[in-house]
Structure 1
């Protein structure tokens, strides 16, 4: 089977020009193919998000929160199903995958409280007869580029917040474990999210560059290696986009002279290879 893009509320039905194998690490064999985006798919995903932005950003806070609460309930009820999908493509054990989802769920729960966090400020008589106020508004289409090691948690660091405040999303997951992103897209649709608000674009560097250079993408969030984080920050900011680029951390630690070295060694191994 071929894992397709999720654009405007449905999986793409076109025959992909390029694909990449998706492996089950426990078996060491390719069990699926994933479509790799060409420019046409990149443009279609961004266009769907752009078209959905006006109505979603103008929807009442109550309406947006209703969708978020429903998404939270569905995810909590069915997280073991998602954990098994992650295990089948990433290789981490089901309990570890479930822990990753729980950490992502915490951000979904944070997003359900955003009606308060989105409030602006007002200062009366900041200067004589001058009042000052600030408002917080959605940016538009935001791109999310996430790594292979946490196919559910890292995207959920970003998209619940983006969607809660009225942005629309194009998620580019790792091509090594892409099915979790499609499962989440289907869950959003079941929760009542309008078509086009959440899109999934599979691909490699071509898809990444397509988002970084697209005029209709307002912001980029990324987690991955430090060299790629630097490339993404430079390229996206050069194109006038707001950027979060989180580079790779290799489980560094500071060991003090009075540390229990047996415990340190154990924790270092668990952090690096668990």
Structure 2
């Protein structure tokens, strides 16, 4: 009998009573290793109720004391880095080094959030009028929800945790049911760090749990990262219910290669950005746009040669460049997209379908795939594949190349590889994409900036983490005050002015 993964409610493991479960696989073997409980609407409501009680206690703490809990939490996660990475890798399939990167990038947001005593400082104006002072303060929203995807089971939950908890909110997290164990362990470490009971609740589930959060009156805001269709649904439902929302969707990131680029570095960058983590990143680089025939011919020849050398292995193989994808269904979807690309007329130079690892024949493995001569009318180019598949779209000049990411339905990230500073500067200013890398293949912003795409990559006006995260999880209250001297002034029947 496989182990059961329970909810985490009011500071401890909580056994649900829905009778419904999801299977958690080991992607390297294809075998079921656990069952995760799926919450009912009532169970979600119970978690929210517990969060309300915990939030009152947590918000009453001064920001410096909350920051100390974050500091201790960071140390606890660092002390368990190896075991957490192994657990993450066993359910997701990414290799151990990549799993550690998942954890470290999440901890960077926790580090930023430790500065919350400063970040929550409001503004003050003395003598805005005669004897009148005005000041503002940032206060928590109350109970908020986070809904995280399978591809970053540590980093993205810690985005939510760092921003929501540091600002005094309680967080109800619904992690992906595909790899739910790490979020639960992270919640246990929060308790060890001194977080009051109920302030962080973990409820596992499917659409029923998601809808329960979206429609619950006491959930004041929802932060989501996942596919674009679901992000759009989250945004529309939250708007209809008067909730704040961050709804981050899919991506189709382009990497533009100028003729003057360092081709050796470009090839290395694309190997990691296109195939790392089996391409299961919203900031992966699945589209290469070489400018000019010579650049394209050189790039394609080099990529084909080097991609064939990549080692695909089990998630705990220290020599593997990447591991399996997360599920059999996702493997089938990626392979269908490869077949679609062939049907649409692209040149398949490397075919990762049918890849089999000796001794792990049932694992969810896909070899590196490479397409050349992809065109914009192909649906395989228009849609997100989310796998180890690199598509090459050739362009004649920079103007044609820059139009591709600008006109695409997704606008998460883009990169340009060049030695020409003026061309890079103009490209960064004009491209219609939210995050830009200049000779940086995966331009995920550091924690004190913020993460967010444009177009169908983000249905929100507020980015993740950074100062945008602080703004999202707080509301501003402005106080205008006067302390009379004792004299009674004239009654005013007009709106107060500062004249």
Same fold (TM over 0.5): yes
1:250 counterpart residue number: 252
- Determine whether 1:142 maps to 2:144: yes
CA-to-aligned-CA distance 1:213-233 (integer Å, 9 cap, x gap): 110001111111111111111
Would the aligned equivalents of 1:124 and 1:132 in 2 still touch at CA under 8 Å? yes
Which protein has greater RCO, CA pairs closer than 8 Å, 6+ apart?
1
Give the stretch that moved more between structures: 65-74 or 89-98. 65-74
1:258 to 1:227, Cα distance in 2 relative to 1, 3 A? farther
CA distance in 1, matches of 2:188, 2:169: 18
1:101 counterpart residue number: 103
CA distance in 2, matches of 1:71, 1:266: 35
Determine helix, strand or coil for the equivalent of 1:72. Answer: helix
Would the aligned equivalents of 2:16 and 2:43 in 1 still touch at CA under 8 Å? no
Displacement of 1:127 in angstroms is 4.6
Q: 1:79 aligns with which of 60, 78, 81?
A: 81
Would the aligned equivalents of 2:64 and 2:116 in 1 still touch at CA under 8 Å? no
Would the aligned equivalents of 1:45 and 1:199 in 2 still touch at CA under 8 Å? yes
Determine helix, strand or coil for the equivalent of 1:249. Answer: coil
2:301 counterpart residue number: none
1:74-223 pair list within 5 angstroms: 74-127=76-129, 129-223=131-225
Displacement of 1:14 in angstroms is 3.8
Determine helix, strand or coil for the equivalent of 1:180. Answer: helix
Determine helix, strand or coil for the equivalent of 2:205. Answer: coil
Displacement of 1:256 in angstroms is 3.5
CA distance in 1, matches of 2:15, 2:230: 31
CA-to-aligned-CA distance 1:80-102 (integer Å, 9 cap, x gap): 11111100100001111001111
Give the stretch that moved more between structures: 156-165 or 252-261. 252-261
Give the stretch that moved more between structures: 63-72 or 196-205. 63-72
CA-to-aligned-CA distance 1:116-166 (integer Å, 9 cap, x gap): 111111012335554321100000011000000000001111211211111
CA distance in 2, matches of 1:78, 1:237: 39
Displacement of 1:249 in angstroms is 2.1
Gaps of 5+ in 2: 277-499
Gaps of 5+ in 1: none
Would the aligned equivalents of 2:55 and 2:142 in 1 still touch at CA under 8 Å? yes
Determine helix, strand or coil for the equivalent of 2:255. Answer: coil
Aligned length: 274
Determine helix, strand or coil for the equivalent of 2:24. Answer: strand
Higher Rg of the two aligned structures = 2
TM-score for both structures, normalised by structure 1: 0.94
- Determine whether 1:48 maps to 2:46: no
1:91 to 1:120, Cα distance in 2 relative to 1, 3 A? same
CA distance in 1, matches of 2:27, 2:184: 20
Determine helix, strand or coil for the equivalent of 1:75. Answer: helix
Displacement of 1:266 in angstroms is 5.0
Would the aligned equivalents of 2:57 and 2:196 in 1 still touch at CA under 8 Å? no
Structure with the higher helix share, 1 or 2: 1
Determine helix, strand or coil for the equivalent of 2:125. Answer: strand
Would the aligned equivalents of 1:72 and 1:105 in 2 still touch at CA under 8 Å? yes
CA distance in 2, matches of 1:256, 1:165: 44
2:61 counterpart residue number: 59
